[in-house]
Structure 1
Amino acid sequence: MSARRINQALALIGAASLFSNVHAEKLDVRDAIKEALASNPQVLSEMREVDARDREVRQALAGYYPTVDLVAAYGFQEIDPAVSRDPFTGEILNSGPNGRTRNELERGEVQLSMRQLVFDGYKTDYEYKNQQARFKSARHRTKSVAEDVSLQVVRVYLEVLKREAILDIAQEALAFHEDVYNRMKKRHESGAGSKADLDQISGRLALARTNVVTSTTNLVDARSNFQRVVGRFPNEGELVMPGTYRKYLPEGVGTAVERAIVNHPLLDSANADIEAVSHSYEQSKSSFYPSFHIEAQRDINNNINGTEGQVDDLQVMLRMRYNLFNGHADTARKQQFAHLVEKAKEIRNNAHRAVEEETRLAWAAHESLNMQMPALEAHVTNSLATREAYTQQFDLGRRTLLDLLNTENEYIDARIAHQLAWHDVLYHEYRIFHAMGDLMYMVGAKL
């Protein structure tokens, strides 16, 4: 692969950076999380849901207030009554064509009515409590989504840093192979080196160039994922290695699980859903009670029913309504919500299991990687020492080119494995805090 192809691949990173905002300062993981929470569609969608639920609470509160209605009408009324006779003589009393008279009047109506709840079997009370619980559930769900997005930010943030580190390793490996190639080419041209050695280093050099292109593409992909989650491309060298919060981790997995069960917003949301549907169940019982309302109505009518003049009417009533039979619909509705309460409890139980599982998995992954780190660090140190020794021995003619190239590959693989594990240790550390519902709190981010 030519140097021109490598330069084209490296240019992909620069092209991606052209679309990013120019920031003079570094962007740490906390600020990246804050940027994501301020613009991420998932979070904003849940926040709008919270706002909508808040308005539903206000709607339920309106049930305690009176309703006041004003009705007004004005128009024309024409009455053509049947023939009326004197009951004693039989004489036609009304006059006009065919024994009829036509009454034409301009009619006007004004009605002001008020209806105030007195008692409705606690229906309004439980509706208000239901909407409050639904509002609380939406808030906890928004917090849960924000925690998920925060972990996504950590993942893509560390992925960019990981791919940058691997690209640096690949470029160093390429420089090493280019140096060896130039030395072997000079040896071959002077007659001191074999054609086989030159062919071998040529193949390894081509592979090193391919690795640079692959690493560059992986970095571009990582930055694209960063843009999808955070909302913009990271600039060259803008991201910094996050700090560790290892000292704030619980003492053991059992403590972590206990913390997750009492603190995770997903479980808080599920518990609020149980509360909401329980209030709906209690509300369904209101149909078995009578309802009482105070109803007041004032009517001012003019020229109605063919009678010229104004007619006023005032009513103030305590009105009871009591359904005696409606085909057992109320009983069925009560049973429906009883089943929904049990469904909500099972959803909560499933969330409980999922939260505990995620906490245990995150803890196990973190512990496993921590146990691997000393061996990986030793592998890097030993392979570096081996490479340096083999390089000296190769220069003295005591090692073959294949020995030198193999030790270089082992050193590269050791460094890559160490970088992958180190970044994964950090990720799973943040993952544990996410599993406990404490990630945003730990990094100092708020909605």
Structure 2
Amino acid sequence: MPSVDLSYSVGPEVTKTINNERERESLTRQDASAVLVQNVFSGLDTTYAVEQQKALISSAGNTVKENANELALAASTYYIEVLRTHELLQIAKDNVAVHKKYLSQIDEKVKAGVGRSSDYKQTLARYENALSIQFLAEQNYDNAVSSFERILPGNLGAADLEKPSVGNIPANDLESLVKVAMENHPKITVSHSDIEVATAALKRSDAPFYPKVDIKAEAYWNKNVHGVSTGEPSLSPYEEDSGYNALVVLSYNIFNGFADKANKEASRHRLLNKNSTLADARRYIRAYTEIAWQTLESTKQQLVHLDNTIKSSGETVADYEKEHELGRRSIIDLLNIELEYNSAKNRKVTAEYDRLIAYYQILAYTGKILEEMNITVE
């Protein structure tokens, strides 16, 4: 688009020039003009400037999507951590209750003279350790709630949340999943937009090496300029002058202290940097997509064996209790199997929630998490 400028100036002017034969003149000078300039050629600077701005808008929009994608993953992770730490806390409390029960039983036997003091001391040590684990679990739960509140402010706890489940993933094998991630992850689209911005900037840096051509149309009106008026129109025909012109103006800078060359070199390095950022983003996304996929598959297998372990350990606990009543098992034997049973339950909870986090990581890395959550970014 052309540029149009209007100008008007007024003020006193004192002159002594050859136009008024070196006679001192003090007049009120007035200037007015209207100038239209239409650029015809500027080394394609305007063309690439428009291209650069479009790429900047695209980059900004994709950055919003990237931030939303990361926020959704963070919210999912903290949400899951609240549920995970709450389940681990419940297991820790149950473990304390079991130790307290057995500690009471062995205390009665010691006082009755049929139990060993060493068994009581060992059970007491295990009870104290179970209490310390419970306090640590409470701390972890409180920390998880606080972290979640940073994302979603409010007095929310595990009782307010529903445990999610693993749904469908965008592909059935790792390579297909990585391909989807490379095509859809917002970080990749942001990097592509940034490369477009840098490419347009590099092309723009060539513009100063070309001449500039403008069409310039001007209309002007002057009064009492350069002291050529006596202030009396009847005595001087030169009190006012006006006119207009239309020109083709060609300008060509042939030396600028190597600034243009330096700017072009800087633009080239910025483009190299953006390409490097894209390559790094691809490596990052590939690596973490693979990790998430491997975690998803590994925990699936772990849970099968952990379920069997918990089932067998639970049955063993029941058998040990019966054998203890018959005098064939000691309290320490019961504590040992309870420890094994408790450890299996902890591992199952950890594996279950690791699997959930891996699922949401896959959705985030493939750019599908917002769609899964029915979130629209505008």
TM-score (norm 1): 0.76
Question: Any conservation in 2 of the 1:144–1:266 contact (CA below 8 Å)?
Answer: yes
Q: How far apart in 2 are the matches of 1:381 and 1:403? A: 18
Q: Which residue of 2 aligns with 1:69?
A: 5
Please point out which of 338, 341, 356 is paired with 1:426. Answer: 356
Say which SS state the counterpart of residue 110 (structure 1) adopts: strand
- The reply on whether 1:395 has 2:310 as its aligned counterpart is no
Q: Summarize the alignment of residues 42-191 of structure 1 with structure 2, pairs less than 5 Å apart.
A: 65-80=1-16, 102-191=24-113
- Per-residue deviation at 1:67? 1.8
Q: Which residue of 1 aligns with 2:334?
A: 404
Q: Which residue of 2 aligns with 1:195?
A: 117
Structure 2 residue identity aligned to 1:365: T
- Compared CA separation, residues 232 and 272, structure 1 to 2 (3 A): same
Structure 1 residue identity aligned to 2:366: M
Question: Any conservation in 2 of the 1:362–1:435 contact (CA below 8 Å)?
Answer: no
Q: Which residue of 2 aligns with 1:205?
A: 127
Say which SS state the counterpart of residue 187 (structure 1) adopts: helix
Q: How far apart in 2 are the matches of 1:197 and 1:336? A: 76
TM-score (norm 2): 0.88
- Supply the RMSD in Å over aligned alpha carbons: 2.5
- Compared CA separation, residues 281 and 177, structure 1 to 2 (3 A): same
Unaligned regions of 5+ residues in structure 1, if any? 1-64, 86-99
Q: Summarize the alignment of residues 320-399 of structure 1 with structure 2, pairs less than 5 Å apart.
A: 320-326=250-256, 330=260, 333-334=263-264, 336-399=266-329
Q: Which residue of 2 aligns with 1:51?
A: none
Percent identity between matched residues is: 28
Question: Any conservation in 2 of the 1:224–1:233 contact (CA below 8 Å)?
Answer: no
Say which SS state the counterpart of residue 304 (structure 1) adopts: coil
Question: Any conservation in 2 of the 1:121–1:291 contact (CA below 8 Å)?
Answer: yes
Structure 2 residue identity aligned to 1:146: A
- Compared CA separation, residues 346 and 198, structure 1 to 2 (3 A): closer
Q: Which residue of 1 aligns with 2:175?
A: 254
State the Cα deviation string for residues 238-267 of structure 1 (Å, max 9, x = none). Answer: 11111221x334111011111112222222
Higher relative contact order (CA 8 A, sep 6+): 2
State the Cα deviation string for residues 101-125 of structure 1 (Å, max 9, x = none). Answer: 5422222222322222222232101
Structure 1 residue identity aligned to 2:283: R
- Per-residue deviation at 1:422? 0.6
Q: How far apart in 1 are the matches of 2:139 and 2:276? A: 45
The total of aligned residue pairs comes to 368
Q: Which residue of 2 aligns with 1:36?
A: none
- Compared CA separation, residues 197 and 329, structure 1 to 2 (3 A): closer
State the Cα deviation string for residues 80-101 of structure 1 (Å, max 9, x = none). Answer: 569x98xxxxxxxxxxxxxx85
Structure 2 residue identity aligned to 1:215: A
